[in-house]
Structure 1
């Protein structure tokens, strides 16, 4: 029986909410996708706390849970690793979210209902509960993408997206190497440029109650500059990449 849906998420130092997050998303698979063959893939990105230990301890409770441990490589690297695992197991659809408990699983249905209309669908944090500095950087990046690519995407890096597995495989094959700092931005740009209808569906974004943001202020500014340079370089290859997606 083929896998209908794989939910993938990176995890880093989320010991306070990891068990709850796994339960919440596992319950979604059991209720909303009852009777379907589904998986929840969590990539532990070299957590320094008990996140990895907690995942190993609770795994026997959740038959659909796949735990992957990797050395710390950053959020983007963990996301790509999770994507590749979902493609490897043959998931028909792949949904990506984060493990920080800032989204509500019920919103997945808003994207799922559009799955026959597009191979790539994004959520959009209409009300976003993040620090002001982070919101400011996000706006700069949004308009930078528009200037560089002529592509306006409301929330290009959002960790709340539904992708058809066969299309995701093609996207991963065209992703620059080494993995960019923010691969979800590159994937969103390629999807949009290839003609996919992203929809930008408004979803709930909750305030973060546990853990801590791993990238702050000046470091965030630094990595955004790095991402912008990566995007500039990628512009030269984009047309060739897009042709291979069709």
Structure 2
């Protein structure tokens, strides 16, 4: 039976985290007994980390990793590395803000043997036009630097064989801020067996979104330089 690791980064999600865990934990039912739900907290200033530690008593397959002073992308990289090192067959990444729907996981899982990765496509996302604009800019730069035409570059709803993630993850520095987007670019560039499936993407269910325009601009500027460097190293 396939061993699944569901992984989520978290930061200041005390308003969401209890519901998110209770909704996603049942996805592990019927999976390999060594399957796990792994949360990496990036040094939350609220009660997120303590809530997670308390939830471990209720959910024995929940693993909590404290990763202070790490941003979203760094935590995602760490979680993929964690799944690889713990020999999961599949890694599924989503976020801890309640915007994704666990009921949609099963349609990904049912076709896992047909593809090496099944990636979410938020074609009618509900989290605001500014977020859609940022995603479209990101997709544009992936086309410019990598020739990758992808419908959704950064969707936090993706089921991947860990062997495929391992093939490309270590081309990136561990503090890279957009690992999901670059993985999409690599998959497209090297013509991996990948498909995109529509997923719903709800408004944030509680708490505050820390990705303000200033922070997005900073990450975007850094990413352009990183994209150029990675493009040069693409075929090494």
Same fold flag (TM > 0.5): yes
Match of 1:29 in 2: 28
Match of 1:212 in 2: 208
Match of 1:16 in 2: 15
- RMSD of aligned alpha carbons: 1.6
Match of 1:64 in 2: 61
1:141 and 1:228 in contact (8 A); partners too: no
Where structure 1 has 5 or more consecutive residues not aligned to the other structure, the ranges are 241-246
2:77 and 2:176 in contact (8 A); partners too: no
What is the CA-CA distance between 1:147 and the residue it aligns to? 2.0
Where structure 2 has 5 or more consecutive residues not aligned to the other structure, the ranges are none
- Structure 1 segments, 4+ long, off by >6 Å, are none
1:3 and 1:39 in contact (8 A); partners too: no
Length-normalised TM-score, structure 2:
0.94
Q: Deviations over 1:113-148 (max 9, x none)?
A: 221222122111111122322221221221221122
Question: 2:225 aligned with 1:229, yes or no?
Answer: yes
Q: Deviations over 1:62-101 (max 9, x none)?
A: 1111110011210001111111111121111000000001
Match of 2:177 in 1: 181
Please show how residues 44-193 of structure 1 align to structure 2 within 5 Å: 44-175=41-172, 177-193=173-189
1:3 and 1:36 in contact (8 A); partners too: no
Secondary structure of the corresponding residue to residue 99 of structure 2: coil
Q: Deviations over 1:182-201 (max 9, x none)?
A: 11111111122222233211
